[in-house]
Amino acid sequence: MPAEEKQKFFEKESAAVVNMRSFVQPEGSMKARINAKQKLQFTIDADIIETLIFGLLFDDPEEKGEQVNRLHVAKKNAFKTFVRNDEDNTFVIEVKSVLKLNMVANFVAIGVSFRQASKLYQSVKEETGMGVLGSVSDVEVAQHCRTVCAINLQYLKEIFNDIWAFAIAIDAGNNAGTAYLDLRMRCYYKGSLENLHILAIPMREHHTGEYQYDLIVETMNVLAPDWRHQLIGITTDGASTMTGCIQGTCTRLSNECHGIFFECGVTGHLRRQQNLIQDMKSSCPTFATTRWISMGKVLKWFKANRIRLFQHFSEKKPACTPSMEWWLVVIIIQGLVERIEKTFSAMQGTRTLVCKQRQLLTALKQDIKERCYINGPMTDDESISFLAAVNNDPLHGFHLNNYCVLRQEAASSIDEVGRFVQLTMDGLRSSSSDADKEAHDCIISTIANFSLQLVSGICKVCAERDNRNNSGDHLPPVLPLELCGVLSRDFVSCLEDQRIRLGHKFSEAEVENIDEQFRKLRLAFKEQSGFSQMLLDAQASCAVQSF
């Protein structure tokens, strides 16, 4: 209809504005009204407030001139909320409304800005009709966030004080407006394995290994003063600033720590490549190095996504880019690990008897021997004869305990893995480069020794499950039922391996008490039928979850 005709048709009508109103005017619940007026006080260590809250998280060394003055005024105003107690070197924080603190924290936690959180708070107050909530500005939102951070950091410090060992994960993020160093912690605390976020530390300077190391040390000195004796491992994204052999963050931290130290990085890098994950519609599985099933999933994922990962590494060229030899080894052992995974899954059945487990292990050992052309067990004379042949010709073969494999047969078993492995190995073998030939020989040696260790290790597992034998290779006990079957000498050996860390957390009497508790556990398992049956039932029904 033309505009003129519309005007004639609606000439007697006038526009009206209708204010939309809710038909139901809700009122805040009694619990919400109580929480809105509830007050709490928290005592925070002074170093958390001064070093972390108003140091790492507040100061900005890049600010200049008038910006420095504004920052100083803002910092001075923010400090008013924290009341210092010089007697015990702490700060006291008073929360005047628990409900307000929780609401603001929840708003910010979903990713809104301080100003947006302030407006959301006002909308909730108006919609619920709870004038008792009062109002909150964006400055107050920021102050509430500092309060929440301080409370959580104090709680983390108490956790660090209660545990004797922990591991951390480090990731340098560059995609946000301000680059940050993300720090996480994993530990065993009050009966469960905890994975906790410590802090996202702003990085306002160059992302060097030294600078990242200084940030981490400054944080850990506040939260875990004894971290050099507690830190047991690090996971990183594999960047050069993390893993450099001299100036890398991990290298510096490991040099500071005492005792055995563990580090990993490649899968952590792949799990953080969001564009790659969206393109592949798949992410690299997490894994535990103590579980064959877990490692099998990771190796299977690497093999299935090899071509796309090749493309990613060639384009991005991260510091953790694996070599071709690494890919070959991963693909070759994936088949063996997959076979082991099937056996271990069958062994963890709820009704699998020990005799059936022995049969599964025996079948696994025989299958690996056939796949890898392993000979044995050999007699002493046969072993001596084979070792003499190896001494005359180092390329003759490989030997471990009572098992051996010829080098040519090991190479043949590798060629049977698949087309990619066969063609790549042929290329290395026929190459005129000494480095390629050396890599070819190294791969054969690695796979041959790996297969020999598998077969020899399976025999030890069989022996350990047989109470008529004393195993010479003592695996670390994990589950309560396993502890009940561990010899006292083996348990003492495990304690001695961690003596340095235990000594900084427990007294000599407490360490001795650990040994006494172990003896009482074994005695209860032998004498109390109900207790032993409970452990046996838990092992049968929860074997997979217990690892």
Query: Could you give the angle at the alpha carbon of 88 between the alpha carbons of 84 and 94, nearest 5°?
Result: 40
| Predicted local distance difference test score (pLDDT) of residue 530 | 85
As a whole number of angstroms, the longest Cα–Cα distance in the chain is: 116
Per-residue pLDDT of the chain (547 residues; tens, 9 = 90+): 666 666 665 555 554 444 444 433 444 455 555 555 677 888 888 888 888 887 776 655 555 556 656 666 766 777 777 888 888 888 888 888 888 888 888 888 888 888 898 898 888 888 877 776 778 888 888 888 888 888 899 999 999 988 888 888 887 765 555 677 888 888 888 878 788 888 887 776 666 667 788 888 888 999 998 888 888 878 776 555 555 544 567 778 877 877 665 555 545 555 555 555 555 555 555 555 445 666 777 888 888 888 888 887 788 777 667 788 888 888 888 888 888 888 888 877 666 666 677 888 889 889 999 989 999 888 888 888 998 998 888 888 999 888 999 999 999 999 888 888 889 898 988 888 888 888 899 999 989 998 998 888 887 774 444 444 333 333 456 577 778 878 888 788 877 877 788 887 788 888 888 888 888 888 888 888 888 888 887 765 544 343 3
CB 501 within 8 A of CB 230: yes
Q: Is the peptide bond before 285 cis (omega within 30 degrees of 0)?
A: no
Quote the strand ranges of 447-530, DSSP E. Answer: none
Strands 403-406 and 397-400: antiparallel
Residue with tokens 């038909």: 23
| Predicted local distance difference test score (pLDDT) of residue 25 | 40
The residue extents of the domains of the chain are: 30-159, 163-264, 327-464, 480-546
Paired strand residues for 91: 44, 84
What's the token pair of residue 484?
Answer: 């009940």
User: For residues 201 and 181, what is the distance between their CA atoms, to the nearest angstrom?
Assistant: 5
Strand, coil or helix: 159: helix
| Predicted local distance difference test score (pLDDT) of residue 257 | 77
| Predicted local distance difference test score (pLDDT) of residue 248 | 67
CB 292 within 8 A of CB 337: yes
Q: What does the DSSP assignment read for 205-271?
A: S---HHHHHHHHHHHHHHH-TTHHHHEEEEE----HHHH-TTT-HHHHHHHH--S--EEE-HHHHHH
Strands 180-189 and 166-173: antiparallel
| Predicted local distance difference test score (pLDDT) of residue 13 | 52
Q: Which of 342, 400, 335, 396 is nearest to 370 (CA)?
A: 335
Q: Which of 308, 310, 341, 312 is nearest to 327 (CA)?
A: 310
Paired strand residues for 263: 234
- Say whether pTM exceeds 0.85: no
| Neighbour-count burial of 19, counting CB atoms closer than 10 A to its CB (0-12 exposed, 13-18 middle, 19+ buried) | exposed
Domain 163-264 classified CATH 3.30.420.40? yes
| Predicted local distance difference test score (pLDDT) of residue 405 | 92
| Cβ neighbours for 461, distance < 8 A, ≥ 6 positions apart | 361
